A and B are shown apart, each in its own frame.
Chain A
Amino acid sequence: MRPWFKYPMTRRLLLRAGALIGGSSVIRLAVGQAPDTAQYAPTGAHEAHDGMITVGEVDNARNGFDPHEILTDWERGTVSRLPDGQVLREFDITASDKEIEIAPGMFFPAWTYNGRVPGPTLRATEGDRIRIRFVNGGSHTHSMHFHGIHPARMDGVPGAGDVPPGGVFVYEFDAFPFGCHLYHCHSIPLKRHIHKGLYGAFIVDPDPDRHPEQAEAARSRLLGSSENARWQEFVLVMNGFDTNFDEENEIYAVNSIAHAYFKRPIPVDRARPLRLYLINVTEFDPVNSLHLHANFFDYYDHGTTLTPTLRMVDTIMQCQAQRGILEFSFSDHEPGFYMFHAHQSEFAELGWMSLFDVREE
């Protein structure tokens, strides 16, 4: 065949990271072509781009949410104490119809909780009383179904806490068990209500006092404790979008925006350990997965244990609504870009491709 394969170099080649994705043929671009900041220049479709990547940049301001902020944006609610001393966390959640940009220039008519997809990451401590005032500002009936322990009345399914447009419902239950959970709309048709964007993370930190034999592990999970402070925690909701409604996803991502953490890698301090709250809500595909490059992690399925359910793995798969906690460290690694992505290559190539930017700080 003819001489293969000349990728014309362009100064505005999006990003130093961009070269990584295409494999060895473009690796050479990675060296010396890098802009100094991780933030890459906004570009238009008329510009020359190279490699296997979506073209352009998503307008986060227009969307009203930034995938980088979603990583660590814990919604802890308004905290008070009930007469018996139990902590009460009150949340206000509103469902609304909203068009969101899920890849540069591609818009999806989403249904959202609090105007974002995924919805706010609700974070509580084991045993807290949770009270959620749910207002349905959308055009269809919606609900909030929590994965947790609660009475039937609070299940958020048709007949128990589903809310017609304009309606209000208050969900109330105690936060059990501790772990990495989720909530989603359970109105019918279920598939559409989920894939349109009605889901979010629900993280219940363990209460160290309830686990005296593993108090240290519990404290490291407890947001606000000094043991927790050294951890770098991120929430990753694996999702997809079927933009042409043929029951196959055109876009795959973590936290909705295709290639968001590839074009702008997640900065990580090499010295501090990482904890990922990983949740799969992908519709239409039986499983989704995460593969971490050049490293191995301990995995806590559902996050409901304080000892790992899997040790020393670099790939984990989850069916829809399955979730878990990943713990690992880059302390022995040299600084640089470390990939993580779905190891269904299809999903990776359709947007679920990310990088950690491991730095010396």
Chain B
Amino acid sequence: MKRTVLWIVLPILLIVAVMVAFLASDPLRSLTGAVPPIEELTVERTLLDENGIALRVRAGGSEPMKIAQVQVDGAYWAFMQTPSGALERMETAWIRIPYPWVEGETHHLTLLTPSGVTFDHTIEVAVATPTPDAGTLRTFGMVGLFVGVVPVTLGMLFYPALRAGGTRAFQFALALTTGLLAYLLVDTLDEALALAGEAAPGFQGEISVWLVTALTFAVLMGVGRRQGKTLAGVRLATAIALGIGLHNLGEGLAIGSAFATGSVALGSFLVLGFTLHNLTEGIGIVAPMLKQRPPLWVFAALAALAGLPAVVGIWVGSYAFSPYWAAMAFAVGTGAILQVIIEVGTLLVRSARGAGQPWFSGVALSGVGAGAMAMYTTALLVQV
């Protein structure tokens, strides 16, 4: 035991010693002499109110970096930085500029460092950042219900019809669910990677997305099959609802943030588009339960699990959006969706075998295709 401890402590001590020696002797001095420090600045949040524009920036310099001046629309403007002074690597600060922004128009901001390096940030459409009062929360909550809970519930209404269809209908529904989930998998991962690209480079967003996706997948698979059995019935439906719920959380974050930053007008048409787009999700959730007859409260709980995260997402996204954490939410969703694809696929294969048919049938193929196509076509309504 003692020896083991020694063999852990010794390498660590040596690593520290090598680092200290390297820094002390600075053997790369000759390479870095006249090179200015690397500077990186990411704008994470933008607030617009009657006091002007406020930006939350995250520094990523090789040395502590300063913001020397700020331009708005090609003019130098007074600004206030809190906390003041040089920003350490990954440190954040708020930059407040008393600028009379114009509603509905575009504003270009440029942050300049002492070496004159410029970092641009564009406010595409200037709208006042929503304030978290009861009225706004209620409106956003309603939008969340229409994006999440309403479509899932409506989709579940196909349950009696699917039940009446027998084994073929069961297989078609499972295949449809697989196609729907495959679409969501690609969509969610795409969103996660896009948001990761907007985050400060120091976070290594894209790597984080892959790691979190893999980790979520592994944990959920492990938890789901901890009794050595594959998922089926209500338990599989719950897993699907969870995956879809996580996706809807991310979707809510994106909608909330897009609304708060003025990059999308939350018109009724767009919200209804989301309702239609997410309708298929309800079918997907009930598909594994066609051979059982669960009580009504199970349906209600599943609808809540899959739909309510959209409400939470919109609330959070409107007031406290951060590209990195939104990317992580989408990554968790990706992992969860991957897990249920495996489980639904397994169930589909097992069901076909049980009926003495090949799993790769016309029914399965058309189901997968119909699921993906339904998602793709309705997505045209919500392109923002």
Contact = CB atoms under 8 A, between A and B. Distances in A.
Contact of A3 (B50, B81, B98): B50
Interface stretch (B61-69, B226-234, B271-279, B361-369): B61-69
A350 interface: yes
Given A50-B78, A52-B77, A45 B118 contact: no
Interface string B52-88: 1000000000000011111100111111111111000
Interface stretch (B108-116, B339-347, B373-381): B108-116
A25 B98 CA distance: 12
Contacts of A7: 98
A250 interface: yes
A349 B85 contact: no
A241 B76 CA distance: 14
A128 B148 CA distance: 87
A315 interface: no
B340 to A, nearest CB: 46
A104 B100 contact: no
B117 interface: yes
Contact of B80 (A46, A105, A350): A46
Contacts of A302: none
Nearest to B101: A5
Contacts of B117: 243-244
Interface string B283-326: 00000000000000000000000000000000000000000000
Contact of A6 (B50, B68, B114): B50
Interface in B159-199: none
Contact of B116 (A47, A48, A108): A108
Nearest to A2: B50
A243 B112 contact: yes
Interface in A1-54: 1-8, 25, 44-54
Contacts of B114: 105-107
A103 B84 CA distance: 18
A55 interface: yes
Q: Tell me if B's interface is mostly helix, strand, loop or mixed.
A: loop
Contact of B82 (A44, A46, A246): A46
B204 interface: no
A250 B118 contact: yes
B84 A46 contact: yes
A4 B98 CA distance: 11
A48 B67 CA distance: 15
Given A55-B78, A258-B76, A5 B50 contact: yes
A351 interface: yes
A44 B75 CA distance: 19
A259 B85 CA distance: 22
A42 B212 CA distance: 49
A4 B48 CA distance: 13
Contacts of B154: none
A5 B100 contact: yes
A52 B73 CA distance: 11
A346 interface: yes
Contacts of A53: 76-78
B116 A45 contact: no
A3 B100 CA distance: 11
A250 B66 CA distance: 17
B122 interface: no
B139 interface: no
B103 interface: yes
A106 B80 contact: no
Interface in A318-361: 346, 349-351
Given A1-B103, A349-B75, A50 B115 contact: no
Nearest to A6: B50
B137 interface: no
Contacts of A350: 71, 74-76
B93 to A, nearest CB: 10
B179 to A, nearest CB: 47
A106 B77 CA distance: 14
A250 B75 contact: no
Interface string A47-81: 11111111110000000000000000000000000
B100 A244 contact: no
B74 A105 contact: no
Interface string A246-269: 100010000000110000000000
A342 B100 CA distance: 23
B369 to A, nearest CB: 50
Given A46-B84, A105-B66, A51 B75 contact: no
Contacts of A56: 68
B37 to A, nearest CB: 12
Which residue, of B69, B77, B78, B112, has the highest number of chain A Cβ atoms within 10 A? Answer: B78
Contacts of B75: 52, 349-350
B47 to A, nearest CB: 14
Nearest to A245: B116
A350 to B, nearest CB: 6
B116 A104 contact: no
Nearest to B77: A52
A31 to B, nearest CB: 19
Contact of B76 (A44, A50, A349): A349
Contact of B84 (A6, A44, A244): A44
B80 A103 contact: no
A104 B67 CA distance: 11
Nearest to A25: B100
5 contacts: A108-B116, A241-B116, A250-B116, A346-B74, A351-B76
Smallest CB-CB A-B distances: 6 pairs: A243-B116, A46-B84, A49-B78, A349-B75, A105-B68, A5-B100
Given A3-B50, A46-B85, A53-B78, 17 more contacts: A2-B50, A5-B52, A8-B98, A46-B84, A47-B80, A48-B78, A50-B98, A51-B77, A55-B69, A55-B76, A103-B68, A105-B114, A106-B116, A241-B116, A244-B118, A250-B71, A350-B76
Interface of B: 50-52, 66-71, 74-85, 98, 100, 103, 112-118, 128
